[in-house]
Chain A
Amino acid sequence: MAVNTLVLSVSTAIYLAVVIVLAYVGYKKTKKADDYLIAGRSISPIILALSYGATFISTSAIIGFGGLAGYMGMGLIWLTVLNIGIGIFIAFVFFGKKTREIGHKLGAVTFPDLMGKIYKSEFLRNASGLIIIVGMPLYTAAILIGGARFIETTLSVPYNTALIGFAIVVVAYVIIGGLIAVMYTDAMQGTLMAIGMSILLVLTYIKLGGVSEAHSALTSLSHLTPSSLASAGQVGWTSMPSLGSPLWYTLVTTIILGVGIGVLAQPQLIVRFMTVKDNRSLNRAVLVGGPFIILMTGVAFTVGALTNVYFQNTTGQIAIEAAGGNIDSIMPTYINAAMPDILIVLLMLVLLSAAMSTLSSLLHTMGSTLGHDLWHKANNKEASLRTSQKGTLLMMIVSVLLAYMLPISIIARATAMFMGLCASAFLPSFVMGLYSKNPSKTAAKTSLITGAVVWFAWTAFVHIKESGPLGISQALFGKATLLDMPWPVVDPLMLALPLSTAALVVVWLLERKRIAPQTKESMDAN
């Protein structure tokens, strides 16, 4: 990196000092298990919105998906539409209020606890907990690797030191200060992210001669689309891919719908709705959340696509060529080449913030699930602060081990995989639990099992991006995918979510039919 190492080191030290201060504030305010698990239900709306947004947006949303926009074009803006419309508006206004009210009434402190209490079902609590414990470490390992690689390249720290150091700093503040420290640091990190991304957008347009000029220049580059991309359906960086092409399926089903809908059933986000004392806080958080998200993904996807114009003007190459063929290098290469030194430092802290805020929240969710929902409940004990802290430490160790053990091809898919699994398994039963006066336990169980099983089967045997690296289909049937096009490019969520929803509706209707005659008979007998 071109920036002075001293400036970078001092900025990072100041940043870490602020994190330590906020962790200490969290520590002072964390007296009992409720404080650790749901921040004592007394978080302010602005902190909620920034924390929710900063958790929602990981480094991969900026670097990975921003780079993807540099590769595939501005079609990713539809993910921003869903991020704001579903991930903020519907999530807060409809899901958030109900979650808060029901969570408060039932005294729920985690997502599995909420599911278990709504349905009065140990199975649903344990199954939700297990899905989190099994699926989330993969996502956590991906965030850890992303953060460590980033620290390695920007601060010139060896990879192993970066990974272990990053893990220790985050696990320390989660254990010491619980969800209060997590949300306070998230809010500080979210503020940095909003400032950094705003400046990035403005400077990019200035560098490219204005808004319309930059877009027109990008439109005029369509003839430079690489032949491999053109044959997959790409028609330029300011157009959607051809309808029904492999690129269109990937963009629409995996990226836009998979990630856009998946956010509604993320346990680490749902628990945040239970941290505020009233619905007024959620109303106020919407005002901050919407603009925050457009500043994150909206800016990343726009700037990502526009890097093609910058690199064309300066090097005569398109973005993916300038980044050496690596999508994840497009945004860092652009930032290092085009931005002034001081902004490079700020953006480095933005990316560190994005990684830390997501990592701390995942860690907290896994730790509280293991400690509170699985261990404590299995032993019939009251929630204790110590067990959740031990759970957090143990889950960090598991995630670090996974980061070393799993092939990078699987890690690269971890974010989309985890979001897809959560939506397929949890979303229908979670919606029913929030909105039905008499939610059916059997319907919820059937839906959760159907969603998880179908998602896994499609992931392991059909969706080529996962079935290939996983190798299960290859080992059992001698081929990476069992179906022909277009199925191998259709995301598992597209099948698993409709089927888990259908399972819920069918079982619920059958149960109603069975109960109705019984009720009538008992009324007749009376």
Chain B
Amino acid sequence: MLGIADPQIWIGYLLAVGLTLLCIIYGAINWNKGDENDGS
């Protein structure tokens, strides 16, 4: 994939990008959750 033959490497890259997206999506979805007034 993208010039990298070893799946152990490109899976690492896919996971790194996927986890970054997870952080972005998690932060966006929970942007307003966990306010000090809502008790969570």
B-binding residues in A (CB < 8 A): 74-75, 77-78, 80-81, 84-85, 88-89, 93, 97, 211-219, 236, 238-240, 277-291, 293-294, 298
Contacts and interface: CB of A to CB of B under 8 A. Distances in A.
10 contacts: A84-B23, A218-B3, A238-B4, A239-B6, A278-B34, A283-B27, A283-B31, A283-B33, A287-B23, A290-B21
A80 to B, nearest CB: 5
Contacts of A285: 27
Contacts of A75: 8-9, 12
Contact of A290 (B4, B22, B30, B40): B22
Nearest to B19: A84
A486 to B, nearest CB: 19
Contact of A278 (B5, B6, B22, B35): B35
Q: Which residue, B2, B23, B24, B31, has most C-beta atoms of chain A within 10 A?
A: B23
B3 A93 contact: no
A291 B20 contact: yes
B13 to A, nearest CB: 6
A279 B34 contact: yes
Contacts of A74: 4, 9, 12
Given A93-B26, A290-B20, 19 more contacts: A75-B12, A81-B19, A89-B19, A212-B2, A216-B3, A218-B3, A219-B4, A236-B6, A238-B3, A238-B4, A240-B8, A278-B36, A279-B33, A286-B26, A290-B24, A290-B27, A291-B23, A291-B24, A293-B20
A287 B24 contact: yes
A286 B23 contact: yes
Contacts, number: 111
B22 A81 contact: no
A81 B16 contact: yes
A277 B34 CA distance: 10
Contacts of A85: 15, 19
Nearest to B22: A89
Contacts of A240: 6, 8-9
Nearest to B17: A294
Contact of B12 (A77, A211, A217): A77
Contacts of A93: 26
Q: Which residue, B4, B16, B31, has most C-beta atoms of chain A within 10 A?
A: B16
B34 A77 contact: no
Contact of B40 (A88, A239, A279): A279
Nearest to A104: B36
A291 B25 CA distance: 11
Contacts of B8: 75, 239-240
Interface of B: 2-6, 8-9, 12-13, 15-17, 19-24, 26-28, 30-36, 40
B27 to A, nearest CB: 2
B31 A277 contact: no
A293 B21 CA distance: 12
Contact of B36 (A77, A219, A277): A277
A492 to B, nearest CB: 24
Closest 10 CB pairs of A and B: A287-B27, A290-B23, A215-B3, A279-B34, A216-B3, A278-B36, A283-B30, A239-B6, A77-B12, A280-B34
A401 to B, nearest CB: 39
A219 to B, nearest CB: 6
A279 B39 CA distance: 10
A239 B8 CA distance: 7
A31 to B, nearest CB: 22
A89 B30 CA distance: 13
Contact of A84 (B3, B4, B6, B20): B20
Contacts of A88: 23
A238 B6 contact: yes
Q: Which residue, A75, A277, A280, A298, has most C-beta atoms of chain B within 10 A?
A: A280
Nearest to A240: B8
Contacts of B30: 280, 283-284, 286
B32 A280 contact: yes
Contacts of B34: 97, 278-283
B24 A81 contact: no
Contacts of B26: 89, 93, 283, 286-287
A289 B27 CA distance: 10
B27 A294 contact: no
A97 B33 CA distance: 12
A287 B9 contact: no
A81 B12 contact: yes
Nearest to B2: A212
B34 to A, nearest CB: 3
B27 A81 contact: no
Nearest to B12: A77
Contacts of B27: 283-288, 290
Contacts of A80: 12, 16
B38 to A, nearest CB: 8
Contacts of B33: 279-280, 283
B29 to A, nearest CB: 8
B18 to A, nearest CB: 9
A239 B23 contact: no
B3 to A, nearest CB: 3
